[in-house]
Amino acid sequence: MAELLVHKMHRMIALHVGGEVFAVFQNAFSELVDTLLPDLDKMARISLKLAVSPILSPSTGEEVKALPAHHALLISRLQRRMADVGQLLTFSITGEDIPAYLADILEGYRDNHIGEFDFALDEHHGSDSAVLTLKVYDSPGLFQKKLSNTERDPRRRLVIPISDIKSVVGTSLRLKLQLSDSVLWLTGDGLSRRDDG
C-alpha cells in the first residue's frame, strides 16, 4: 500500500511533503487546494476537502479512487510553490484553541522526529487539569532501531500544566510554546527553554 500523502488527524490535516510532515488547519488545507489545484473542476476540489473533513466524506466511489492522484498533484505543486503558499503551513494558537489543537500540532512535530521525541497529554493526578509531558531522546542507534520494542530513557523530560501554555506558534518542523514564565522551543535540535525573568 502506498504512503498516504494527505490524511486526517484529530482536528487538523497531515501533509507529507518531501519526507517532512506538516499539520495544517482545515481552512489552510482548503485554501491550498483552491490555490494549487485551480485546474481541477469544482466538484473534484470539494471531494478533496471532504475526504479530510471531520464529519463528511466524498460521495462516490470514483471520487474516492481519484484521491491518491489528486493528493500527489497537490503535494507536487506545494513543493514547487512553497515560497508562495508556505505561510499556510504555519499556525498560531492561543486560549481555548491550545487544548483543542495541541495534540495534532505535537503529533506533526513527532512525525518529523520519530524515535527522538514523544509526548503525552494526561489528566494531573487528583485534579481535572491536564498536563503535557514532553520527552526528548537521543537518536536511536542501529541496534535500538532493530529492537524497536525496547524502552529507552529520555534524555530530557518536561511536564507542563496545559494552563501554563499561553500560545503555540510555528510549523511541524519548529514550534515555540510561550509559557507563563518561559519560552520553550521544539526544533530539529530538540528542546530548549529560555526563562522570561
What confidence tens digit (pLDDT) does each residue in 37-90 have? Answer: 999 999 889 888 988 876 665 556 676 688 889 999 999 999 999 999 999 999
For residues 59 and 14, state if they share a domain: yes
For residues 101 and 154, state if they share a domain: yes
For residues 99 and 153, state if they share a domain: yes
For residues 35 and 129, state if they share a domain: no
- Rounded CA-CA distance 136/139 in Å is 9
> Domain of 71?
6-88
If one counts the domains in the chain, the total is 2
190 falls within a domain: yes
Q: Which domain-ending residue is among 29, 61, 88?
A: 88
For residues 13 and 61, state if they share a domain: yes
127 falls within a domain: yes
pTM of the entire predicted model: 0.86
For residues 110 and 173, state if they share a domain: yes
1 falls within a domain: no
User: Could you tell me if 140 and 152 are in contact, meaning their C-beta atoms sit under 8 angstroms apart?
Assistant: yes
Q: Scanning the structure block, which residue is given the C-alpha cell 501533509?
A: 15
For residues 10 and 47, state if they share a domain: yes
186 falls within a domain: yes
For residues 137 and 73, state if they share a domain: no
For residues 83 and 97, state if they share a domain: no
**What was the pLDDT predicted at 52?**
84
**What was the pLDDT predicted at 66?**
81
CA distances from 73 to 8, 39, 80, 158, 172 (A): 18, 11, 11, 40, 21
68 falls within a domain: yes
